[in-house]
Every structure is written in C-alpha cells, then in structure tokens.
Amino acid sequence: MALSPPSEEGTVTVVVRVRPSVPGDRAQAAQPLLRVVDQHILVFDPEEAGGPPGSLPPARGSKHHGKDLKFVFDRVFDEKATQEEVFQCTTREVLDSVLNGYNCSVFAYGATGAGKTYTMLGSEKNPGIMYLTMVELYRRIEARKEQKSCEVLVSYQEVYNEQIHDLLEPKGPLAIREDPEKGVVVQGLSLHQPTSAEQLLQMLADGNKNRTQHPTDANATSSRSHAIFQIYVKQQDRVGGLARGMQVAKMSLIDLAGSERASVTNARGERLREGANINRSLLALINVINALADGKNKKTHIPYRDSKLTRLLKDSIGGNCRTIMIAAVSPCVLAYEDTYNTLKYASRAKEIKLSLKSNVVSFDCHKSNYAAVCEQLKAEVAELRAKLRAYEDAAQPAENQMMVPVFTCSPVQRPRLGRAVAKPCLVLDEQTESDGEQEELEAGWPVQMQLKSAPEEMPPSSPGTTHQTDVQQELKTSSCLLQRFSSSQKDTLVGAIMSVAQKQYSLLKAANLLTPDMVSEFEELELLVHEQTGGNLEQAMSPNRPLEVGGATPAQSPQQGCDGEAS
C-alpha cells in the first residue's frame, strides 16, 4: 500500500468581498472607505474619501494608518458581486481537487456585520456558497458514477465560548482528542451519510437553526459561534482488477464569528463574555496564520493549542490542504480599524506555503479477495451482456423483416429445399456454438474479455475455409435442383435460394469474414443463376410470388442421383 502522487507546492488563495452599504451605516453621506480598482487591486482609504477636516468619525481619527493603501489579492469582489460569482471563483474551483483526493478548506474571516455568514450561507432567494457547493458536488459525483463508487459523510459543529457542540444532533459539550493516526478527533461528533444533494442541504439547514445567534448593536443577526461544516468524500474504482485505488478527501467550509469591540457593540454580561471568547479564538487564529506565513524559519512553533478553534483547524489551514480565505470587509468609515486589520491579516495569509499531496491509496487485494473480485467482474460482464442482448433484440425484428422472405412449399419439396439451405444454417449454428464457447472462456477470464474483442482475435483461416466449402456445396445443390423444375418453378426456387445466399453474404460481410475467394464464388453463383433463369432473376425474387412446386413428384426426376451429389 502506497500514497501517490508526489506533493505539489502552492500558497493560500485569498479573495476579498466588499459588503454593500446598508441603511444602518451612520456615515452614509461620507465617501466609501474602499475603492475596487480591478479584479485584483483594492485601495484602502482613497484620497477622495478624505473630505473636509473634522468630517471623519472619531473611530478613524484615533489611529491613522495612511491614505491610499493598495492591497493585491487573488480576486477582489466589489459591492455588486453576486453569490454565484463568488462561488465560481472560490469553492467551485477546488471541487476538482476534492474529487482528486486533496483536502480543501474554505473559511470566511472578517469583523462582525461584514457579510461573512451571508457569503457562506446566504438566504432562501440567494443561497450561499455552502449550498451551491453541495449541489455542484453531487452533480459531479453523478457524472462519474459509472467509473467511481462514491461515499459522502458530513458533520456540522460549532465552537461557542470555547466549547464544541454538534449542530446536527444537539447534545452537551464534546471533548477534543489528538489521535496519532487520525489527527484531531471530536469524540461523540455525529457523522451522517446523505443519499442526495437535497437531503444534505436539509441537514445544513437544520444545523443552522441550532446555531447560536444573538443580536448586538453592531449586527442584529450576529453569529456568536464559529461554524465548521465538513464533507468527507471516499471514492473507489468500480472495477480496477486486483490492484485497486481509493481516494479519501475532506472539505471544510467554515463560517467564523466576527471580531468585535465592546465599545461599538455595547455588549454587557453574557454578550460581553461571548465577544471576549470570540476575540480570543480569532487572535489565536491570527497567531497561527503569522507563524505559518513565516516560512524562513521551519522550527517556528505553531500555536495550534491556544484555542479549540485552532485545534480543530489544524489540518484545514496550510500544510496538506488547499486553502481559500474569503475576507469580508465593510466600506463604512465606522469600520475603519476592523477593515484595515482584516486586509492586513488577509495579505499576511497569502504568504502561507502549502505542500499538497493527494490522498490516493493504491493497494493489492489479498488472495482471499480474488474470488470476490472475479465475482464482481462477472456481474459487470453479465450486466453489459444483458444490455447488448436487449439492444440486439430491439434491432432484430427490423432486420428480419428486410432480409428474410416468406414462402411456402409442398411437403415433397421441403426436404430438397432444406438440403439446399442446410449449409448456411449449419454455419450459423457453428457460429452460435463458437459464441457459447467464447462466453464460457470470458466467464473464466473476465479481465481478458475487457481487453479483447472476439472479431479481432478470431483466426481468419478456419471460418474462411468453412464458408468456402459451404458456397461450393451450394453451387452443386442449386445446379441439381434447377434441373428438376419447369421454367416458372425454377425461377421461383432460384429466387428463394438466391435470397438465402445473399443473406449469408451480408452476414459474412458484416462480420468481416469475407475472403476474395468467397467473393468470387458468390459472383459465380449469381452468374450461374442468371444464365439458368434467362434474365428473369428479378421476377423470380419478387416477394409477391409464392413458391409453387406442388406438381413435382419423385418420379419426374432422378432424385437419388442428385441427392447423392449434394451429399
């Protein structure tokens, strides 16, 4: 068992989304704090936003970081950006990585009221990237279900006041443990296996109802907890022989609580304690980001254990995890300090180095599993054969209607006509027996069946010789029979024989079994029939004329001699 392929280098992807102005902003009349230059450049505190002296709120004048500060990110979304646009440039791109076995993480960071929860969850009319991601994930799983068997597990938890709670099965606080092999494990956290995208979205909606939210002066629907929604995707080749591959990946979608200042939120009592715990966990996250970004000193201590949040995100930020940070900022001048800090930390996160490795495990089946693998291969072969048989059965009636003529004859002439067409039927019977032997062989060696096709492997010499002998025998039998009937009877019988010969010719041609000698013999047969019928071949083969040979009797012709030649 081995991991593959080698690791890939990269950095954390950082995007910034500017929240639209809302009526609650007290500085509506002032110029916006941010200006989006293009899809990658953002200007903080542009020159035109200065205004006359004394027009700025006290929150901005207390600490001035400089005007016209330019920040460059992987993508910048202005106030008019839609949920679909954000989704297309963030989680939709990493879904390919998840389905290829890479761990991925997307988290929204920013001050309270900056639009993090709206970006991640959205509303009923404008669903967020969590909902859009789940729908797209199941669409891609459905597209590859013929090649891969996929299993999806989900969990939803929150960190509230430094305690972990299960949002899908609410219960008491859960303990967190470090496992040498599995990493960070939350004991008692429920895992659910949805069967469809709709069921998964319902789980997400139920979990959001259990999330802790309380209004503050800064945000009427403030999330007081960090929410972590994790999706585990396991894929395995449906039929991969004795050496099989399995991919296991984890995707984390994280909606962080917003940093806040007590002087702005006017929090008291329980709300004040919540805000303090939120700020403490976010500060621990910032310290982890700074330590990860300091790539020069590899011995730098990463303070994951400073909070429950950073312990949970130990394998979701940096390292072997493709990470996307969505920085939500407000254009309101009142959020001057919070917006500046968010942009500063987001710019710092761009420096975090990633070493990505696909979680693809290739393993050889034990000998005891050989029988199970063979049975699985046989089942797939049987399923494919059933589909092919159904297709052939649907196409056969139309082919028979076009190629098989309907004719009648008396009991006396049936044995003769049977001898005339016995060889073509015998050829088809031999081919059917050969197909049965081939099916037996394929059932014993299903792997060879997938790699080879019967027409290419069939030796051309044996069937060619058999069919060549059949054609020669047909010539003798046809010539003998033509001597026994009158002109009209001869034309009708020749038409029936010629129709059977043409059908055999078509079957051999479709099976790519014709040889130049066989083609010449068929042409010779056609020329002979043309000479014997005196040019009335088209009239003799007319489907509107039934075969009428009732007047012939054994006494009218030397039957034994001809039969001896035919045999």
Q: For the chain, which residues make up each domain, given as ranges?
A: 11-364, 404-566
The pLDDT value recorded for residue 124 is: 84
What's the 3-state SS for 188-253? CCCCECCCCHHHHHHHHHHHHHCCCECCCCCCCCCECCEEEEEEEEEEEECCCCCEEEEEEEEEEE
What tokens were used for 490?
């001869």
Residue 206 has pLDDT above 50, yes or no: yes
How far is it, in rounded angstroms, from Cα 550 to Cα 564? Answer: 23
Return the minimum-mean-pLDDT range out of 143-152, 243-252, 256-265.
256-265
Give the residue-averaged pLDDT of 452-480: 49
With beta carbons less than 8 A apart as the criterion, state whether 395 and 403 touch. no
Give the residue-averaged pLDDT of 286-301: 81
How far is it, in rounded angstroms, from Cα 298 to Cα 289? Answer: 14
68 phi, psi to nearest 5 deg: 55, 45
From the centroid of its chain, how far is CA 558?
A: 73
With beta carbons less than 8 A apart as the criterion, state whether 305 and 173 touch. no
Quick check: helix, strand or coil at residue 151? Answer: strand
The pLDDT value recorded for residue 279 is: 86
With beta carbons less than 8 A apart as the criterion, state whether 228 and 204 touch. no
474-532 pLDDT, tens digit per residue, is 555 555 555 555 566 666 777 777 777 787 788 778 777 778 888 888 888 778 777 76
Quick check: helix, strand or coil at residue 292? Answer: helix
The pLDDT value recorded for residue 258 is: 83
Residue % of the chain over a pLDDT of 70? 63
Residue 537 has pLDDT above 60, yes or no: no
188 phi, psi to nearest 5 deg: 90, 0
Nearest to 311 by CA among 471, 430, 172, 177: 177
11-364, what's its fold? Kinesin (3.40.850)
Query: Measured between alpha carbons, how far is residue 541 from residues 318, 349, 489, 501 in Å?
Result: 81, 85, 12, 12
The pLDDT value recorded for residue 430 is: 46
Q: pLDDT grade, residue 341 (50/70/90)?
A: very high
Residue 80 has pLDDT above 80, yes or no: yes
DSSP code for 115 = S
In single-letter form, the type of residue at position 370 comes to Y
Give the residue-averaged pLDDT of 61-86: 85
How far is it, in rounded angstroms, from Cα 504 to Cα 494? Answer: 15
With beta carbons less than 8 A apart as the criterion, state whether 364 and 433 touch. no
The pLDDT value recorded for residue 464 is: 45
Q: pLDDT grade, residue 218 (50/70/90)?
A: low
Annotated binding site: 110-117
Q: How many CA atoms lie within 13 A of 504 on its CB side?
A: 28
From the centroid of its chain, how far is CA 328?
A: 32
396-432 pLDDT, tens digit per residue, is 765 565 554 444 444 444 444 444 444 444 444 444 4
2-44 pLDDT, tens digit per residue, is 444 566 888 899 999 999 887 666 545 457 789 999 999 999 9
Residue % of the chain over a pLDDT of 90? 30
The pLDDT value recorded for residue 106 is: 95
Residue 384 has pLDDT above 50, yes or no: yes
What tokens were used for 254?
């994280």
How far is it, in rounded angstroms, from Cα 283 to Cα 308? Answer: 12
Annotated binding site for ATP: 110-117
How far is it, in rounded angstroms, from Cα 370 to Cα 109? Answer: 51
Return the minimum-mean-pLDDT range out of 70-74, 209-213, 309-313, 460-464.
460-464
Give the residue-averaged pLDDT of 287-316: 85
Residue 149 has pLDDT above 70, yes or no: yes
Rounded to the nearest integer, the mean pLDDT of the chain is 74
Give the residue-averaged pLDDT of 225-232: 93
The pLDDT value recorded for residue 75 is: 96
Nearest to 298 by CA among 318, 283, 268, 315: 318
DSSP E strands: which ranges in 389-484? none
Omega cis (within 30) before 516: no
Full-model pTM: 0.62
How far is it, in rounded angstroms, from Cα 76 to Cα 211? Answer: 29
The pLDDT value recorded for residue 505 is: 80
The pLDDT value recorded for residue 145 is: 86
Return the minimum-mean-pLDDT range out of 113-117, 213-217, 448-452.
448-452
Quick check: helix, strand or coil at residue 25? Answer: coil
**DSSP string across 255-320:** EPPPB--HHHH---THHHHHHHHHHHHHHHHHHHHHHHH--S-TT----GGGSHHHHHTTTTSSBS
